Amino acid sequence: DAKTTQPTSMDCAEGRAANLPCNHSTISGNEYVYWYRQIHSQGPQYIIHGLKNNETNEMASLIITEDRKSSTLILPHATLRDTAVYYCIVRSFHGSSNTGKLIFGQGTTLQVKP
Amino acid sequence: NAGVTQTPKFQVLKTGQSMTLQCAQDMNHEYMSWYRQDPGMGLRLIHYSVGAGITDQGEVPNGYNVSRSTTEDFPLRLLSAAPSQTSVYFCASSPGTPDNEKLFFGSGTQLSVL
């Protein structure tokens, strides 16, 4: 699976957009980008995923660059409840020995401030 | 909807004791996995399963056994507990289809080994 690089921590003002970057320069053509978040002491929560097109759902938007070497998770109007650790994960699927594995990195700690 | 259910929520063991952490899901998911999370760290994959009767090792499998006799259940066994296994354990499941590996996590088991 491609390695991801995320900043260790970020701050965001409440009500503003939070833009969380992720570098995955070794990503290959069949690898999806997944984002999860973990609010203190809870189990991680799925946010969004994509392959090459930008994606949007009720929680966030995912912008993937054309070369797919990086992506940005956007929380359009951050609230205090969005304070969490955000994980960017890149994995391939089926046909590889890594079938079924999803490896979490250290993630980005997002602090939303009033 | 029960989702992914983990029991117990808390457990204290003495060094050398054995125990089983239970995990059950009611979503008919093929893929299930176990992670551990140490304080201030990300999640590390212990074992995973892509279907009944199929299991494989993750990043940190030593000291743990798993089996998958049914689609619903994926217990994690600690053979001889050690203080280094003090951690929070999360179980997760996923449909595991090519475009959807969205993981659903349980609420975790906090384990202390004295």
pLDDT at position A98, please? 54
Of A73-82, A88-97, B11-20, B24-33, which range is least confident?
Answer: A88-97
Top mean-pLDDT range of A25-34, A85-94, B104-113: B104-113
**Does position A58 have pLDDT exceeding 90, yes or no?**
yes
Of A22-26, A101-105, B31-35, B66-70, which range is least confident?
Answer: A101-105
For chain A, the residue count is 114
Instruction: Note whether B101 contacts A44, CB cutoff 8 Å.
Output: no
Q: What is the mean pLDDT of residues A54-65?
A: 96
pLDDT at position B101, please? 76
CA dihedral B2, A89, B65, B36 (to 10 degrees): -80
Q: What is the DSSP letter of A81?
A: G
Q: Which residue of B has its CA nearest to A95?
A: B98
- Burial (Cβ within 10 Å: 0-12, 13-18, ≥19) of residue B69: exposed
Q: Is the peptide bond before A7 cis (omega within 30 degrees of 0)?
A: no
Instruction: Note whether B102 contacts A45, CB cutoff 8 Å.
Output: no
Write the CB contacts of A41 (distance below 8 Å, at least 6 apart in sequence).
Answer: B88, B108
Q: What is the DSSP string of B19-87?
A: EEEEEEESS--SEEEEEEE-TT--EEEEEEEEETTEEEE-S--TTEEE--SSSSB--EEESS--GGG-E
A87 touches chain B (CB under 8 A): yes
Q: Which residues of B touch A55 (CB under 8 A)?
A: none
Write the CB contacts of B114 (distance below 8 Å, at least 6 apart in sequence).
Answer: B12, B13, B14, B15, B83
pLDDT tens, residue by residue, B55-94: 999 889 999 999 999 999 999 999 999 999 999 999 999 9
CA dihedral B68, B78, B103, B44 (to 10 degrees): -130
**Does position A95 have pLDDT exceeding 70, yes or no?**
no
- Chain A interface disruption, residue of B5, B45, B103, most A CBs within 10 A: B103
CA-based nearest residue to A12, from A86, A100, A104, A105? A86
Q: Where are the beta strands (DSSP E) in chain A?
A: 9-13, 18-23, 32-38, 45-50, 55-56, 61-64, 70-75, 84-91, 108-113
Nearest to B101 among A44, A45, A93 (CB): A93
**Does position A91 have pLDDT exceeding 80, yes or no?**
no
Instruction: Note whether A49 contacts B41, CB cutoff 8 Å.
Output: no
Query: Nearest CA of chain B to the CA of A95: how many Å?
Result: 10
Nearest to A102 among B101, B104, B108 (CB): B101
Which contiguous run of DSSP H or E holds residue B6? strand B4-7
